[in-house]
Amino acid sequence: MKGIWKYKEFWPEVDPVDLVTLGEGNTPLVPSVHLGKEFDIPNLYFKLETGNPTGSYKDRFAASALTHLVKNRARLCLATSSGNTGAALAAYSARSGLPCFLVIVDGAPSGKVNQMKGYGAKTLMVQGFGIDEVVSEDVFRSLKQFGLGMKSEVQISAYSYSPQGMMGVESIAFEIAEALPENCVKVFSPAGGGGLTLAIGKGFLEWGERDKSYRLPELYCVQPEGNNTIAGALINGQEKANPIKESKTKISGLQVPNVIDGNQTIEVCRRLNGGGEIVMDQQVFELQKALAFKEGIYCEPAGAVSLAGAIKARKAGVVNKSDSVVCVITGHGFKDPQSLQRMIKKEEDYFESIDGATKYIIKNLAN
């Protein structure tokens, strides 16, 4: 077995005939070439979940979720999504032969919605869903009831709703543990509802149970200021996450006003001696551009949130110069084409002759 199924002994047994896979997992862990030096983090690594089949870590979730839907003989895949979950579930539903119906977050990026449709999923956008706490709770409750009648559980990338799917996400931690077995490691994970961070934390703890010599890493939950439900509670020593009435961040995928997995995320970060970091949207957008221009990593804005948190932690002395720092890069930039316009010039530089263009190149090289 390869990919996430390499670690199948960590999970309840599944008949191989029910496995739904597109080769997800086994994503690169690459060292920084430039940004680590720039921000005084010499041992900076990026876990590139952009390398999964549909371009995000949610493929790990979808593979496990659809495998269990097939195992349980569900009649359909029913889910909610802000983008990446829906794209992944749509692809893996197509692979499994199950019809896929997705209720998507109000204002989800067109690139992600089109990707869902490209795999044949039916998409429904509900006004206020994913932005307003009350509307979001109502959608979750209604879909859950409908799903039960179809022998299917609503697939939401959170332990609160889809623990079987989230088991697949734990494999991120297993891969990091294998790649960096002895270093003092600090892992930074972006969070909306907290599911990703919780899965990584649970994965590290499970790895530590099997290998008593393994030095557990520290885990940090990073959130944009406009969706501070978990990170602030970690910083302030609170035991519970704080729901907000309306998410105000512009970072797609992290607009989750509800607590969802927040309380468990706080617990697992504390067990791993980590904490929380709150970052600003503008810095995230700037780092998204820096990752592309200086590291060759084209990620969605949410993928740059972890790096923003690591940089802030380094400036505050939370991260030491000798630490190995891993930033989880959650999804590929092609999923959010609107964000690309913030990164590049709207018009090409225009010259009347090749001589003018040549002089421009030489001038820029000199600078």
Instruction: Enumerate domains of the chain plus CATH numbers.
Output: 3-55+165-343 (3.40.50.1100), 58-160 (3.40.50.1100)
Q: What is the pLDDT of residue 134?
A: 87
Higher pLDDT, 334 or 98: 98
* DSSP conformation letters of 281-342: HHHHHHHHHHIIIII---B-HHHHHHHHHHHHHHHTTSS-TT-EEEEEE-BBGGG-HHHHHH
Residue found under tokens 């649970």: 202
Q: Which of 181-185, 247-251, 291-295 has the lowest mean pLDDT?
A: 181-185
Q: What is the pLDDT of residue 299?
A: 96
Range 48-61 average pLDDT? 97
Helix (H/G/I), strand (E/B), else coil: 124: strand
Q: Mention every residue, 6+ apart, whose C-beta is less than 8 A from residue 187.
A: 176, 200, 204, 217, 218, 219, 220, 274, 325, 326, 328
pLDDT tens string 79-117 = 988 789 999 999 999 999 999 999 888 887 788 889 999
- The yes-or-no verdict on residue 345 having pLDDT over 90 is no
Is the Cβ–Cβ distance between 48 and 6 less than 8 Å? no
Amino acid at 25: G
> What is the Cα 79 distance to its own chain's centre?
17
Number of Cα atoms under 13 Å in the Cβ half of residue 346: 2
Q: What is the pLDDT of residue 175?
A: 97
- The yes-or-no verdict on residue 214 having pLDDT over 90 is yes
Q: What is the pLDDT of residue 347?
A: 60
Helix (H/G/I), strand (E/B), else coil: 107: coil
pTM, entire model: 0.92
Direct distance between the N- and C-terminal alpha carbons of the chain, in angstroms, rounded to an integer: 51
